[in-house]
Structure 1
Amino acid sequence: MTKNQKLADLIQGIEGMLSKSRCPLTGEEEVLLKLCLAELEDLRNNKSDKLGSMEKVARWLLLLFEVYGKFIEFF
């Protein structure tokens, strides 16, 4: 599988999460996913520094999972 295909799969997965609303997302979580999506699009189109973009995406995803974990603990 090529790098572009992997990026396309990640992009498609995030878009699917946003469109299907499988779980309730807060506004902040939705914004984080959209920011990750934008970074992945830039990375796929080679418009940005690849290492810096991947670090940003990883940080946003970690933050999203942390928020989601706290949401699950709350209920």
Structure 2
Amino acid sequence: MTYEVDLAIPVEDALEDLPQQGYMEVMEVIAGVLVRPGSWPPLGGWDGAVVFGARSWVAFTSYVDGIEVYDIGWAG
């Protein structure tokens, strides 16, 4: 199944401000989330989840067709 990723506007802005290494790591974390839908929080609710990379994190919620990333961070 193909899933969609929606990025909240502040996340889009934050991605633009990251250095290349940070951008790549955050995108890898998002990709890792997509391939493990069993680890997503309950669909369509108010629950969210946070997944960590080596120096980054991604906060998201889930829906039937994918995830919405509402916050990211990178300790660069």
Q: Which bin holds the TM-score, normalised by the shorter protein?
A: 0.3 to 0.5
More helix by share: 1
Q: Which has the higher contact order (CA 8 A, sep 6+)?
A: 2
TM-score, with length taken from structure 2: 0.39
